[in-house]
């Protein structure tokens, strides 16, 4: 398939502001794509080469990309740097540069015409980019430059635009996984009704390219053979939330297993013999951050093959007490890992078991999974099962909650014991309910919101962002709906940092997945998640979260929102608080006011 087909599609996607149009465009593209390369096309449209968990990223530095461009066009590095400054976007700079490529001689002209006559193919682009991403060590820079230049020589200006964006990791079309699943169901499985089956395959593998390949080759039939594989992360099951013990017990049928909610980092560990891979909540491969955690799994999980989940918590080596979440973040570093292990040691608290020696446990009820977990776990000071209690009384649940808090936990996760208490991969459901500490003087507990826009500041904040437009997520519509403008809670250091953090996501118009009545000064592709807290949730005609759900023409807004200081880089935008959760929180708040 010619790369230009993909480029035409990119252009159309970029100009649409409608989510449905985006899906239609994808359906057309997928139908056009040969099954043998559909996985690659899926990854490329997401600006990547592999599923996220593989951890091989494109992200060539701009300077290096410009050197390749210089090699391919004959234009000097200085000219290209000036062009980039004018354009503000490496893609546009490359497009312009190619249009005014320097031809030094007749021979040059002929070879350049010949190069252009040969069309760029998707396979060639993919394989070359793969080599670029994998080149390491001595001479890697030169290898990368000549590989990139070899593509640019055959590229049209438009192709160069998207090639450069892809290479530098800036192809941000904002196509969500869910949009791709919709498109795959429509293109190959007879329509949107098949979406849940396609989604299950995705939830068990986290590999959209692999799922695309299976359905494009064998349609629905192919999904039957879908199996859990060690090394392919399972998308995590998530908890709903309620604020009183009474409601929780009622929701869980009067009885549940309550477990400490540890305040650390969720880890999904895959063990195959002595090999261990660790995935984060966002399914990044974080094995290299935690060699000590790998060692714990190696020594204390007694199964040849296993997939288990645990919360990794920083502990005080002297007292064994748990340290707060922020301390653990010191472990998320590239260098100095050995020192960090000593300074911030961790313990693992195991809470689920999804697969053991060829047996898929995700469809087993929780008590069964827990039983298997206890069988394969050899506990030690550093490897413990999550503290739990089976509870059927409100006062007991409240007491256990207090105990968890006093032990340094965030609260409890209350889990269903019912026969249908399966592991709902990739879903937030009522089989798990979190019970977190509420913030006394505040009606609102912290929520996670995605930054979708920004407003320029005034006075002391002139030239910087004064406030951020934030949104919650609506999974049904796959849209981000605004809920507040946040301007307080930021330290001076935060204010300095924010433009840099958000710069890679700046786009020219409102993103098609953002629903907003407000007109931001700057728009972003939904990417960055922050935690905020406010005084209460109010009805508001200005915001689109829950618009019309409680009152016609009114949505929900957070009153006096403040940044809590927590950047949730561990969350993807789709992990933000949902509209449904916000509506529930609003109803809960009304109840509290009434009583």
Active-site residue, from 144, 261, 415, 481: 261
Rounded to a whole number of angstroms, the minimum distance from the CB of residue 433 to ligand ATP is 9
Query: From CA 289, how far away is CA 280, in angstroms rounded?
Result: 11
Q: Please, which of residues 209-228 interact with ligand ATP by CB under 6 A?
A: none
- In the complex with ligand ATP, which residue's Cβ is closer, 154 or 436? 436
- In the complex with ligand ATP, which residue's Cβ is closer, 377 or 413? 413
Q: Which two tokens stand for residue 531?
A: 């935690």
Rounded to a whole number of angstroms, the minimum distance from the CB of residue 351 to ligand ATP is 4
Query: From CA 212, how far away is CA 79, in angstroms rounded?
Result: 42
Q: Which two tokens stand for residue 229?
A: 């594989």
Rounded to a whole number of angstroms, the minimum distance from the CB of residue 309 to ligand ATP is 7
- In the complex with ligand ATP, which residue's Cβ is closer, 22 or 386? 386
Helix axes 177-188, 208-223, angle to 10 degrees: 40
Helix axes 157-167, 140-153, angle to 10 degrees: 150
Rounded to a whole number of angstroms, the minimum distance from the CB of residue 386 to ligand ATP is 4
* Residue among 52, 259, 292, 515 that touches ligand ATP (CB under 6 A): 259
279 counts as binding ligand ATP under rule CB under 6 A: no
B/e letters for 205-226, b = 16+ CB within 10 Å, e = fewer, are bbbbbbbbbbbbeeeeebbeeb
Torsion of CA 530, 535, 538, 543, to 10 degrees: -30
Q: Please, which of residues 525-584 interact with ligand ATP by CB under 6 A?
A: 575
Query: From CA 543, how far away is CA 518, in angstroms rounded?
Result: 8
- In the complex with ligand ATP, which residue's Cβ is closer, 188 or 432? 432
Residue 443 to residues 222, 447, 534, 541: CA-CA distances in angstroms? 49, 12, 8, 20
- In the complex with ligand ATP, which residue's Cβ is closer, 237 or 547? 237
Q: Please, which of residues 332-351 interact with ligand ATP by CB under 6 A?
A: 351
Q: Are 222 and 403 in contact (CB under 8 A)?
A: no
Q: Please, which of residues 428-487 interact with ligand ATP by CB under 6 A?
A: 434
- In the complex with ligand ATP, which residue's Cβ is closer, 182 or 259? 259
Q: Which two tokens stand for residue 54?
A: 């593989």
415 is catalytic: no
* Residue among 68, 413, 444, 533 that touches ligand ATP (CB under 6 A): 413
- In the complex with ligand ATP, which residue's Cβ is closer, 259 or 515? 259
Candidate segments 40-48, 118-126, 260-268, 456-464, binder of ligand ATP by CB under 6 A: 260-268
- In the complex with ligand ATP, which residue's Cβ is closer, 474 or 575? 575
261 counts as binding ligand ATP under rule CB under 6 A: yes
Candidate segments 16-24, 246-254, 261-269, 484-492, binder of ligand ATP by CB under 6 A: 261-269
Q: Are 231 and 261 in contact (CB under 8 A)?
A: no
Return the closest-CA partner of residue 163 out of 177, 181, 150. 150
How many residues are recorded in the chain?
595
Rounded to a whole number of angstroms, the minimum distance from the CB of residue 464 to ligand ATP is 28
B/e letters for 289-298, b = 16+ CB within 10 Å, e = fewer, are bbebbbebbe
Candidate segments 124-132, 256-264, 336-344, 552-560, binder of ligand ATP by CB under 6 A: 256-264
Candidate segments 33-41, 172-180, 187-195, 255-263, binder of ligand ATP by CB under 6 A: 255-263
**Does residue 420 sit in helix, strand or coil?**
coil
39 counts as binding ligand ATP under rule CB under 6 A: no
Q: β-strand 383-385 against 346-356: which pairing, if any?
A: parallel
Size of the site for ligand ATP (CB under 6 A): 14
Q: Are 454 and 469 in contact (CB under 8 A)?
A: yes
Return the closest-CA partner of residue 210 out of 397, 11, 21, 43. 43
Q: β-strand 529-533 against 447-456: which pairing, if any?
A: antiparallel
Q: Please, which of residues 352-411 interact with ligand ATP by CB under 6 A?
A: 386
422 counts as binding ligand ATP under rule CB under 6 A: no
Query: From CA 475, how far away is CA 234, in angstroms rounded?
Result: 19
* Residue among 200, 266, 437, 464 that touches ligand ATP (CB under 6 A): 266
262 counts as binding ligand ATP under rule CB under 6 A: yes
Name the residue with tokens 């869910």: 178
In eight-state DSSP terms, residue 182 is: H
- In the complex with ligand ATP, which residue's Cβ is closer, 28 or 387? 387
Candidate segments 123-131, 254-262, 534-542, 548-556, binder of ligand ATP by CB under 6 A: 254-262
Q: Are 426 and 235 in contact (CB under 8 A)?
A: yes
In eight-state DSSP terms, residue 549 is: T
283 counts as binding ligand ATP under rule CB under 6 A: no
311 counts as binding ligand ATP under rule CB under 6 A: yes
Q: Which residues are catalytic?
A: 261
Interface residues with ligand ATP (CB under 6 A) are: 238-239, 259-262, 266, 281, 311, 351, 386, 413, 434, 575
């Amino acid at each position: 398939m010619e790369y230009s087909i993909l480029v035409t599609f990119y252009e159309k996607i970029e100009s649409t502001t409608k989510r449905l149009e985006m899906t239609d465009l994808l359906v057309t593209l997928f139908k056009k794509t040969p099954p043998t390369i559909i996985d690659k096309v899926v990854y490329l449209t997401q600006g990547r080469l592999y599923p996220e968990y593989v951890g091989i990223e494109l992200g060539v530095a701009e300077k290096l990309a410009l050197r390749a461009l210089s090699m391919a066009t004959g234009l000097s590095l200085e000219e290209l740097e000036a062009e980039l400054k004018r354009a503000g976007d490496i893609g546009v700079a490359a497009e312009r540069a190619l249009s005014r490529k320097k031809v030094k001689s007749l021979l040059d002209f002929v070879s350049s015409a010949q190069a252009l006559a040969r069309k760029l193919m998707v396979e060639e682009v993919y394989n070359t980019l793969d080599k670029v991403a994998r080149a390491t060590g001595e001479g890697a820079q030169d290898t990368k430059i000549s590989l990139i230049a070899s593509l640019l020589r055959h590229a049209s200006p438009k192709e160069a635009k998207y090639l450069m964006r892809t290479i530098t990791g800036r192809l941000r079309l904002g196509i969500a996984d869910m949009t791709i699943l919709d498109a795959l169901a429509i293109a190959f499985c007879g329509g949107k009704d098949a979406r849940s089956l396609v989604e299950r395959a995705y939830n068990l593998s986290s590999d959209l390219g692999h799922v695309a390949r299976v359905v494009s080759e064998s349609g629905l039939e192919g999904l039957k053979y879908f199996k859990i594989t060690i090394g392919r992360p399972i998308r995590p099951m998530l908890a709903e939330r309620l604020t009183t013990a009474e409601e929780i017990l009622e929701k869980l049928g009067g009885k549940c297993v309550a477990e400490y909610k540890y305040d650390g980092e969720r880890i999904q560990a895959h063990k195959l013999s002595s090999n261990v891979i660790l995935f984060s909540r966002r399914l990044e491969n974080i094995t290299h951050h935690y060699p000590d955690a790998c060692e714990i799994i190696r020594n204390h999980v007694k199964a040849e093959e296993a997939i288990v989940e645990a919360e990794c918590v920083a502990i005080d080596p002297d007292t064994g007490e748990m340290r707060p979440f922020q301390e653990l973040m010191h472990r998320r570093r590239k260098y100095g890992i050995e020192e960090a292990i000593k300074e911030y040691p961790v313990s693992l608290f195991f809470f689920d078991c999804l697969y053991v020696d060829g047996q898929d446990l995700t469809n087993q009820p929780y008590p069964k999974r827990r039983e298997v977990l206890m069988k394969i776990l050899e506990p030690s000071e550093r490897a413990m099962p999550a503290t739990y209690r089976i509870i059927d009384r409100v006062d007991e649940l409240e007491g256990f909650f207090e105990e968890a808090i006093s032990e340094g936990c965030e609260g409890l996760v209350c889990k269903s014991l019912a026969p249908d208490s399966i592991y709902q991969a990739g879903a937030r459901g009522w089989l798990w309910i979190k019970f977190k500490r509420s913030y006394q003087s505040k009606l609102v507990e912290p929520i996670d919101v995605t930054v979708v826009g920004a407003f320029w500041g005034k006075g002391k904040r002139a030239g910087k962002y004064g406030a951020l437009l934030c949104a919650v997520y609506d999974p049904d519509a796959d849209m981000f709906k605004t809920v507040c403008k946040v301007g307080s809670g930021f330290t001076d250091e935060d204010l300095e940092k924010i433009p840099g953090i958000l710069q890679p996501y700046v786009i020219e118009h409102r993103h098609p997945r953002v629903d907003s009545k407000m007109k931001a000064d700057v728009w972003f592709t939904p990417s960055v998640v922050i935690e905020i807290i406010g005084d209460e949730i109010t009805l508001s005609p200005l915001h689109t979260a829950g618009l019309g759900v409680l009152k016609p023409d009114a949505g929900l807004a957070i009153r006096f929102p403040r940044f809590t200081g927590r950047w949730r880089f561990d969350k993807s935008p789709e992990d933000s608080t949902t509209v449904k959760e916000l509506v529930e929180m609003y109803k809960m708040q009304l109840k509290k006011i009434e009583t």
